[in-house]
Amino acid sequence: MTRLVGYSGILVALALSLVGAVAAFVAAARRGRTSPLARSAAYVNGALLLVANLAMVVALVTNDFSVSYVAQVGSRSTPLLFSIISLWGALEGSILFWAGVLTAYAAAVVFTSRRRDDATIGYATGVLHAVSLFFLILLVGPANPFGLVTPVPFDGPGPNPLLQNHVLMAVHPPLLYLGYVGMTVPFAYAMGALLSGKLDADWSRATRRWTVTAWGFLTAAIIAGMWWSYEVLGWGGYWAWDPVENASFMPWLTATAFIHSTMVEERRGMLKGWNVTLVISTFLLTILGTFLTRSGVLSSVHSFAGGSIGYYFLSFIAVVLVASLVILAGKSDALKSEGRLESAASRETAFLVNNLLFTVFTFTVLLGTLYPLVAEAIRGVKVSVGAPFFNQMTLPLCMALLFLLGVGPALPWRRTTPEELRRKLLAPGAALALALVVAFALGERDAYALAGFAFTGFALVGNLQEYLFGARARMRALGERAPTALVRAVAANRRRYGGYLSHVGVLVATAGIIASSADKSEHEATLRRGESMTIGRYTVRYDDTWGRKEPQRFVVGSAVTVLRAGAVIDSMAPRLNFYNMSSQPVTTPAVRTTAREDLYLILMAFEQDGSKVTIKAIVEPFVVWIWIGGLVVLLGVVVAVWPGGGRRPSALGARPGASRPQSAARTPQPETRIPELAR
């Protein structure tokens, strides 16, 4: 029953997206308008795919093994939560979920632009339908999750053990899809603007909010993925330059570049063609990333054996690439620059350098990720490009970006004066020196780590002082009290201050990344009952090993007592999980988190009678700040894109400090243009 509901929903959606794409393109090309049919089709498809996804969830939860996908990933012993989230635990389900998110985005675009009736939106709707069409073709073809299985098996193997070992699996993938798939919307807008020839600042304004939203989801997804890797994979790290990590990171890099360079276009009418290129690249990189992770050409946690689906993705990439280039070349007139660079020391230059660095960064990651494929295809050798390559290449770029992060906010548009620059860089400069001295005094000797801490301090103060400047200007001009002035300054220009807040989050995370990778210490020891080892400030004593049977797995844990300065401070239990359907145990490291450092214990091996265990202990400073930094970035995104425009006249009497940003008072200022998507 669920099988029929789901599959017929996909078939109808397939037909509707085809009709919708054709109708939208015809209406936009012939009449320069949107097509009511295409708009309705977007709503209906959103509903149909929601139903199809729900049908699959029902099938998973009720263990309906007649559905091929359930027979592949389901199991009667899997706990409810992991049954539900195995929706995205393997290829077919993940494509179904992707299509669900995509059609939901398309419906949201149509809804927010319901008062616009121009060719740009018309074409954009058509592009969204066309992209949906591709994923729906996958769903009826090589990635059909609703196949019929006869005879119906009694039980299934259950999801990949790695994917049912931590609740973050309920968080990371949906966020990733929201971010990844969300990049389709700016692509659709870019194509719409190119095709309609209306590449005025309007398109980037409409696109910006969608991009920042998707970027926020993608950022959160990457951080959640790092966290998952840290909590589940049991190697004490969170980033390994794994192809899959790179796949999520590359669109993030280009999207970050776009978010910055779009401001140059808005302010100065420059970089139009470049911005369109960034949006197209971001979309292509999401599809490329999906190809890499879903076609099985690279091996990792995320690679599901894919069969022929790789060819579908390659063809799709080729079509998108050729179509984009042809359209881009045909519309080069519309991409002419209106403004010009006036001074080297200006915000524009900072953004240009930012874009150069992000582009080189993307290219580096792309090269390192694809090189093994190229080498195998051309030279027939199996190679891997390890973390040393990426670290060696990207660390200098990271340093330059950190420095720029501090200089950028200090530079005004168009040009600056030496006095102003001095005034704005005084405090950050002092912070740079202070961070350097403190890090050195605390025993840091690694050159990159020292430079990293110094630039982080520099940029942190450079961004934070902007809040001070904004508030002080209001206090002087309007005589407001400090807290009021701060809140109103932020409310009056949420995009700008949200951006600074995201910068602060990135810097907090950066400090965590530098400290945890440069000053990590680890020790591995084999201990008998009652024996202990010492690492950093901690003494870890092995007490005993226990076993516990759960429906879907068998857990072995080692009880250890943690002491500091002779006093017991905690007891921990690193575990190994043995899943019924896999011979490979999955570790669950025990992590003791404090603001200063994490103590991370991994059960490496155990004697079956519990007499001896081998435990690896890692002390990593500042790890928790990476996750906190991620949350701050998100907060910045929420401040920047929260609905509510700057058009309302200043709402006198609104309480400062009210929790919802849009309820705070704001005074119209030249920079207060918070454009709406719909008008």
Partner 1 sequence: MSPSTSPRPRRGNRVALVAGAVVLAGIGYLLFSGLDDNIVYFLTPTELLAKGTEGHDRPVRLGGLVQPNSVRWDADRRDLRFRVTDGAKVIDVHSTGAPPQMFRDGIGVVLEGRYHPNGVFESSTVMVKHSNEYQPPKDGEKPEQLYKTLMQGGAQ
Q: Under the rule (CB under 8 A), what is the footprint of partner 1?
A: 157, 160, 261, 270-271, 273-274, 277, 296, 299, 303-305, 335, 337, 339-341, 352, 355-356, 360, 363-364, 367-368, 371, 375, 381-386, 388-389, 392-393, 524-526, 544-547, 549, 553-554, 556, 576, 578-585, 604-612, 614, 616
Structure token pair of residue 506: 């990135």
Task: Find the shortest distance in angstroms from Cβ 383 to partner 1.
Answer: 5
How far apart (Å, rounded) are the C-alpha atoms in residues 280 and 194? Answer: 11
Task: Find the shortest distance in angstroms from Cβ 213 to partner 1.
Answer: 25
Q: Which residues pair with 522 in a beta bridge?
A: 618
Task: Find the shortest distance in angstroms from Cβ 299 to partner 1.
Answer: 7
338 three-state secondary structure? coil
Structure token pair of residue 118: 């121009």
Whether the bond into 151 is cis, omega within 30 of 0:
yes
32, 280, 421, 578 from 192: Cα distances, Å: 11, 12, 40, 52
Q: Which region, left, alpha or beta, applies to residue 13 given φ > 0 means left and ψ of -120 to 50 means alpha?
A: alpha
Single-letter residue type at 201? A
* Element housing 676 (H / E): none
Pick 9 or 585: Cβ nearer partner 1: 585
Single-letter residue type at 489? A
Length of the chain: 679
Pick 101 or 232: Cβ nearer partner 1: 232
Task: Find the shortest distance in angstroms from Cβ 155 to partner 1.
Answer: 13
Using alpha carbons, select from 236, 243, 214, 52 the residue that is nearest to residue 132. 52
Task: Find the shortest distance in angstroms from Cβ 203 to partner 1.
Answer: 17
Task: Find the shortest distance in angstroms from Cβ 606 to partner 1.
Answer: 8
Task: Find the shortest distance in angstroms from Cβ 333 to partner 1.
Answer: 13
**Which residues in 488-519 are b (16+ Cβ under 10 Å) and which e?**
bbbbbbbbbbbbbbbbbbbbbbbbbbbbbbbb
How far apart (Å, rounded) are the C-alpha atoms in residues 39 and 36? Answer: 5
Task: Find the shortest distance in angstroms from Cβ 444 to partner 1.
Answer: 25
> Helices marked H in 141-198 — which ranges?
172-182, 184-196
Pick 187 or 453: Cβ nearer partner 1: 187
Pick 299 or 594: Cβ nearer partner 1: 299
Pick 83 or 261: Cβ nearer partner 1: 261
Pick 363 or 440: Cβ nearer partner 1: 363
Task: Find the shortest distance in angstroms from Cβ 106 to partner 1.
Answer: 28
Pick 22 or 395: Cβ nearer partner 1: 395
539 three-state secondary structure? strand
Pick 488 or 616: Cβ nearer partner 1: 616
CA angle 305, 309, 315 (to 5 degrees): 145
CA angle 2, 141, 300 (to 5 degrees): 95
Task: Find the shortest distance in angstroms from Cβ 270 to partner 1.
Answer: 7
Pick 608 or 659: Cβ nearer partner 1: 608
Task: Find the shortest distance in angstroms from Cβ 146 to partner 1.
Answer: 22
> Do 522 and 535 form a contact (C-beta atoms < 8 A)?
yes
Half-sphere exposure of 651 (CA within 13 A, CB side): 18
How far apart (Å, rounded) are the C-alpha atoms in residues 444 and 460? Answer: 20
Pick 379 or 660: Cβ nearer partner 1: 379
> Do 165 and 232 form a contact (C-beta atoms < 8 A)?
yes
Residue 372 CB-density burial (10 A; 0-12 exposed, 13-18 middle, 19+ buried): middle
Task: Find the shortest distance in angstroms from Cβ 176 to partner 1.
Answer: 19
> Do 254 and 278 form a contact (C-beta atoms < 8 A)?
yes
Pick 310 or 644: Cβ nearer partner 1: 310
Structure token pair of residue 539: 């003494």
Pick 259 or 486: Cβ nearer partner 1: 259
- For the chain, the first-to-last Cα distance in angstroms comes to 43
Half-sphere exposure of 86 (CA within 13 A, CB side): 30
Gyration radius of the chain over CA positions: 27
Task: Find the shortest distance in angstroms from Cβ 293 to partner 1.
Answer: 12
Pick 300 or 669: Cβ nearer partner 1: 300
